[in-house]
Homo-oligomer: A and B are copies of this chain.
Amino acid sequence: MRVIVIEAHGPAFSAGHDLSEMVDRMIDDERVIFEACSELMATIHEVRPPVIAQVQGMALAAGCQLVATCDLAVAADTARFSTPGVKIGLFCSTPMVALTRAVGRKRAMHMLMTGDMIDARTAVDWGLINQAVPAAELASTVIELASRIADSSADTLAIGKRAFYDQIDRTEPDAYELMTQVMAANAMTGDAQEGMSAFLEKRPPTWTT
């Protein structure tokens, strides 16, 4: 498996949690629900292949968090995004972790405090998603993107994805110290040696992974 695509069918990409699971429960039950959700988000960052969200409809609350968490996201231009928990008394605090890191402070605060929906064009403009396309072209756009990524060495993609999340929360000097080692080690791999040689010899590379 070289690339993972998360897609959905129907009017919503994901409307988030099932509220009926959260009414009249004990605190430990609530914890189990949110821990499972946070674990899913961490797993998306931890799995080897890049993960693309293919967003055909509404992405609400934890659904919006899922879009923000995926490595890449492409949406139908009819898709909508919001973190409306504030309107039902349950602030979208876990979605906020991914949302603030994707769209920045003022825009995240607006979505979180109002629950307002944003459209796909705005989501592109704010960096929440990479691209918005006509609904009829969504699946083919994602397949084309996934195929282009899958043309690269699987080891290289995995090294790069792990490195991305390993460096993102570090200070810049610490990030450079780590990435300098990562890149030197990457350069010694068979696929890098093959890729660089192929480039210098003006021929297509043959990956072993």
Interface SS, A side: helix
Query: Chain A contact residues (Cβ within 8 angstroms of B): what range?
Result: 35 or more
Name A189-203 residues within 8 Å CB distance of B. Answer: 189, 191-200
Given contacts A31-B180, A89-B186, 19 further A-B contacts (CB under 8 A): A19-B200, A34-B184, A34-B187, A37-B180, A38-B179, A87-B152, A89-B196, A89-B207, A90-B156, A90-B196, A91-B160, A92-B160, A94-B179, A97-B179, A105-B127, A107-B130, A112-B160, A112-B164, A169-B172
Nearest CB of chain B from residue A51's CB, rounded to whole Å:
10
- Which residues does chain B contribute within 8 Å of A149, judged by CB atoms? 113-114
Tell me the number of copies of this protein: 3
- Which residues does chain B contribute within 8 Å of A31, judged by CB atoms? 180-181, 184
